[in-house]
Structure 1
Amino acid sequence: MALNFHQLHIFYTVAEKGSFSHAAQALHMTQPAVTMQVQSLEEYFGTKLFNRSTKKIELSEAGRTLLPYAKRSIDLMKETDIGMSKFTHMLEDRLYLGASMTVGEYILPRLLGPFGKEYPNISVSMKVINTRQILEEVLNHQLNFGLVEAEVQHPDVHVEAVMNDELVLILPKEHPLSACPSVQLEDVLQYSFVLREQGSGTRRVMEEELAKAGIDPGEMKIVMELGSTGAVKSAVEAGLGISILSQSSVKHEAALGVLQVKDIEGIRFSRSFYAIYLNSTILPISAVTFVSFLRERDLSQWL
């Protein structure tokens, strides 16, 4: 029997999760299959890699010795996929991903065309939900890859910035602030706001930057919370309030003059869009290729 990467990956995941059942869930395998692969690895080395008891499993001395080598093999495999992704133009595969609202509705549609021209044999299936839902689905193994609007913090999740964006003040046509050459934050806070719902990346970034400026977001005059950027834009256009949204999401309305876009003096709502996936996941080459495309191309030419 030869040593193989698949067994090292399974061993590492069991060690990381501290459980055969949790590793099986993370790897989308049955528990007996995980156990069998670990036993095969133990037979290959001729030693036990885990000390098992009825309550828990722990790495043996041999297992502790193997663990850093297994991690290095996984890291090397990920680096290999990244390095080879630029040569996968003839790859035939389907890319499944989750995208948060702004990314999925306004950013990716402009990028999927150029990506499709460069990689014509990779088809895309995208689920558009908010950042909190994507994190939950990644953790529950319903999605293995997502693009979100705010940095998430979770010990089981790898987070990588792949794109930049900026939020701006959105006003209805002929709003009093639209005539001001310089808009001050204290003036903005006098008006009613229509905002994205709690849990959205846009909302989180806005609240974090306001808090840094010494403003309690709970003191804002919020008259409406809506579940999509499109609904927020329609409400602002109807004069129901003002908002803070991604500049990329309002280019069309700003060009038509139905919405006004302003910067707020002394505060910037700069952010990144992030790729997220489980630490224990090795992404399919189609996903690695897409992340490399986002990371390496000049996306401004399409946005």
Structure 2
Amino acid sequence: MDFRLKVFYTVANRLSFTKAATELFITQPAISKHIQELEEQYKIKLFERNGSKISLTIAGEALLKHTKSIFEIYREIDFEMGALINEQHGMLRLGASTTISQYIIPPILARFHQKALDIKVNLLNGNTEQIENALLKKEIEIGIVEGQSKNTSIKYTPFLKDELVLVCNTKNCLANKNKINAEDLKAMSFVMREQGSGTLEVIEYALKPFNINLSQLNIEMQLGSTESIKSYLMNSNCVAFISVHAIEKELKNNELTILDVENLVIERFFYIITLHGKVNALSELFIKNISGNHNLKL
């Protein structure tokens, strides 16, 4: 029964019998057989089949919700039973928004792994909106995100202070300009993050005191990651607001430069996010571990 539920859970998340078979290392006919047996047991269809596409029925949605809860309990049992014999093992599902997953989280995960060798971490990467949605759907236990707005169903704990700075390549004529004021921004060409990005949200919030809306800026391109924005800057006369954590190498190599905008300081926190209520033991271990490194008040 447990394996059947695992098969169902994988198919429901992938919405593909083929992808589920590949992930679970079994044949597609075996996948179909397990799903058929579940449908026979509950006497109801779990998936709607439309040619090669499938979708969850109402019954499938209900079973998925319970299956997630069951697997969460199993993960907690495994961790707590191991802790009783001084063995820390289990699977932690972590989500991080793009800037954090690229520049902040890798060394943190490396240090955590050194202390907890038998704990596996599955890292989901996406923008802030996607990570918050994954947490609400219980696809991850912990997220680390950027952003200004707050979802009332989520607990936000400040994790690390960050600053967004205006950047261009060193060959850009703006690089030699001594003073830039907020009004000058309207004459520049920008490359920005996509909608749903926490970075975009923070920029919009910071420009409000100057009565500047994003719609007033000349946004030449919107891209889905900081790396693609940096690469675009190297090959254009655009500017971009980027986290200082993301440009250390480019500043050192004299490829990008920071433009000082008068009276504009864009600071923000990265946040650890969890659902309200008691976190499981494994998540608590991870949070305590990283909060010790960053003096968090949880």
98, 113, 123: which one aligns with 1:126: 123
Q: How does 1:127-142 map to 2 (within 5 A)?
A: 127-142=124-139
Identity within the alignment, %: 28
Deviates more, 1:88-97 or 1:269-278: 88-97
Question: Does the C-alpha gap of structure 1 residues 263 and 288 become closer, same or farther in structure 2, counting only changes over 3 Å?
Answer: farther
Determine which of 274, 289, 293 is the counterpart of 1:293: 289
Output aligned runs, 1:179-198, within 5 Å: 179-198=176-195
Q: Which residue of 2 aligns with 1:52?
A: none
How far off its partner does 1:212 sit? 2.8
1:152–1:28 CA distance, 2 compared to 1 (3 A) = farther
Give the letter for the 1:269 counterpart: I
Q: 2:160 touches 2:294 (CA, 8 Å); kept in 1? A: no
Distance 2:268 2:108 in 1: 19
Q: List per-residue Cα deviations over 1:83-126 (Å, max 9, x = no partner).
A: xx9xx996223321111000011111132222323333333210
Alignment CA distance shift 1:284-1:185 (3 Å): same
Q: Please, which moves more after superposition, 89-98 or 153-162?
A: 89-98
Matched, 1:145 2:142: yes
Specify which of 85, 95, 98 is matched with residue 95 of structure 2: 98
- Structure 1 unaligned spans of 5+: 1-20, 31-80
How do 1:216-235 residues align onto structure 2 when only pairs under 5 Å count?
216-235=213-232
Residue 279 of structure 2 is matched in structure 1 by 283
Contact preservation (8 Å) 1:163, 1:294: no
Counterpart contact for 1:169–1:242, Cα < 8 Å:
yes
Structure 1 residues 209 and 289: alpha-carbon distance in aligned structure 2, compared to 1, 3 A threshold: same
For residues 233 and 89 of structure 1, the distance between their equivalents in structure 2, rounded to whole angstroms, comes to 45
Question: Which amino acid in 2 is paired with 1:175?
Answer: N
The amino acid that maps onto 2:284 is V
- Following superposition, the deviation at residue 133 of structure 1 comes to 0.9
Task: Give distance in 1, aligned partners of 2:132 and 2:149.
Answer: 8
- Structure 1 residues 238 and 89, CA gap change in structure 2 (3 angstroms): farther
Instruction: Indicate if the aligned counterparts of 1:168 and 1:246 stay in contact, CA closer than 8 A.
Output: yes
Aligned to 1:44: none
CA displacement at 1:134 relative to structure 2: 1.1
Gaps of at least 5 residues in structure 2 are 1-60, 71-79
- Say if 2:167 and 2:239, in contact at 8 Å, map to a contact too: yes
Q: Secondary structure of 1:232's partner?
A: helix
Displacement of 1:259 in angstroms is 1.2
CA 1:96–1:184 in structure 2 vs 1: closer, same or farther (change >3 Å)? same
Give the C-alpha shift of residue 149 in structure 1: 0.8
For residues 184-237 of structure 1, the C-alpha deviation after alignment (integer angstroms, 9 at most, x for no partner) is 222233110000001101111111101133212210000100111111111111
Task: Give the conservation status (yes or no) of the 8 Å contact 1:100–1:131.
Answer: yes
Question: Cα 1:89–1:228, aligned 2, differ >3 Å: closer, same or farther?
Answer: farther
After superposition, the CA RMSD in angstroms is 2.8
Instruction: Kindly provide the amino acid, as one letter, of the partner of residue 229 in structure 1.
Output: T
What TM-score does the superposition give when structure 1 sets the normalisation length? Answer: 0.66
Match of 2:16 in 1: none
In the aligned structure 1, how far is the partner of 2:107 from the partner of 2:176?
32
Residue 28 of structure 1: how far off its partner (Å): 4.1
Further displaced range: 223-232 or 140-149: 140-149
CA contact (8 A) 1:89 1:120 kept: no
